[in-house]
Amino acid sequence: MRVSTILASALLLVVEAVAKPIPNPIHYIRQAGPSAGIVINKCSRPGVLALAFDDGPYTYTRQLIDTLDKAGAKGTFFWTGTLYGCIFNQAAAVKAAFASGHQVASHTWSHPQNFGSMSTNDLTNQMNKLEQAYASLIGVKTTYMRPPYLATGGNVLPTLRNLGYRVITDDVDSNDWNGYSVSQSQQQFTRAGAGGNGHIPLMHETYATTVQQLVPWLINWAKTNNLQLVTVADCLGDPNGAYKNATGIQPINSC
């Protein structure tokens, strides 16, 4: 009797184990979001447009936030610490963007021209110092970044992989930085089209024409083409992966 009871119990455990669904490892990989240190230039799903802005925060940042909020749109801000003045001078705008559900991301501390040829130590310092500022301003660590000048050579990708950053470039360049008129920038989007997976454009909130003319046009263009305006993380199927806990990061409060 004793042996039969043990055998029956063992058989029951086997049946229960077989009855339970086996976890799909792909499910957990997808939950983890995009890989760090890999260049991403386009959304991974259709029907979206991820408005992404570089080089701020700046004079026009709050106006841009208000425009997006009024339209029910979300944007991604790749900010620096010192390129257009100290980030703490725009603390209210930074906090407003974060509170409104826009994505705050990194564009390095000082936007160095030689980013693609910097040492691992210097690259790490560029990222860490902005992390310290964000820890003070919004209390989190960002997990997305866009390299200055879209430089991804040398030590850039290995360093960013070790630091856990998803590296974003673009697949539509507004060329606002290159002297393009608003109408020329618009043509960049119309040529790219609204089909296929969504676009991640390169734009700069430091130009009044981009904030005051191109963005309102893009909001209407997206609506006309049934595109949802989302954050970069969201367009990559990673809506909850834009931030990590800032535990262990020493905040700073000045530049």
Question: What are 87-140's pLDDT values in tens digits?
Answer: 999 999 999 999 999 999 999 999 999 999 999 999 999 999 999 999 999 999
| Domain presence at residue 194 | yes
- Domain assignment of residue 251, yes or no: no
Give me the amino acid identity at 177.
W
97 backbone dihedrals φ, ψ, rounded to 5° = -60, -45
pLDDT class for 178, splitting at 50, 70, 90?
A: very high
The token duo for 74 is 């979300």
Convert 15-37 to b/e letters by CB count within 10 Å (16 or more is b): eeeeeeeeeeeeeeeeeebbebb
Asked if residue 232 lies in contact with residue 241, where contact means CB atoms within 8 angstroms, the answer is no
Element of type H or E holding 134: helix 120-137
**Residue ranges with strand state E in the chain:** 39-40, 42-46, 48-49, 51-54, 75-79, 103-106, 140-142, 144-145, 166-168, 172-173, 197-199, 201-204, 228-229, 243-245
Question: Omega before 148 cis (within 30°)?
Answer: no
Work out the pLDDT band at 2, boundaries 50, 70, 90: very low
The answer to whether residue 201 sits within a structural domain is: yes
Structure tokens at 174: 């507004």
- Say which CATH number the domain at 102 has: 3.20.20.370
Domain extent, residue 131, equals 2-245
Residue 221, in any domain of the structure: yes
High-pLDDT (> 90) share of the chain, %: 87
Q: What is the largest CA-CA distance in the chain?
A: 89
Give kind and range of the element (H or E) at residue 182.
helix 182-192
Is residue 201 within 8 Å of residue 228, measured between CB atoms? no
Domain membership flag for residue 255: no
pLDDT value at 27 more than 80: no
Q: How many domains does the chain have?
A: 1
pLDDT at 24 exceeding the cut of 50 = no
**Catalytic residue positions, numbered:** 54, 204
Whose CA is closest to 108, among 38, 32, 165?
165
- Residue of 68, 4, 45, 13 whose CA lies nearest to 218: 68
Residue 222 has pLDDT above 90, yes or no: yes
Spatial CA neighbour of 161 closest among 22, 42, 34? 34
Strand-pairing partners, residue 244, are 141
Confirm whether 236 is domain-assigned.
Answer: yes
Strands (E), 4-159: 39-40, 42-46, 48-49, 51-54, 75-79, 103-106, 140-142, 144-145
Residue type, 96: A
Has residue 253 been placed in a domain? Answer: no
197-199: strand order across its sheet: 42-46, 197-199, 48-49, 228-229
Which token pair is 134? 């964000």
- What pLDDT, in 10s, does the model give residues 132-168? 999 999 999 999 999 999 999 999 999 999 999 999 9
Predicted pLDDT of residue 33: 84
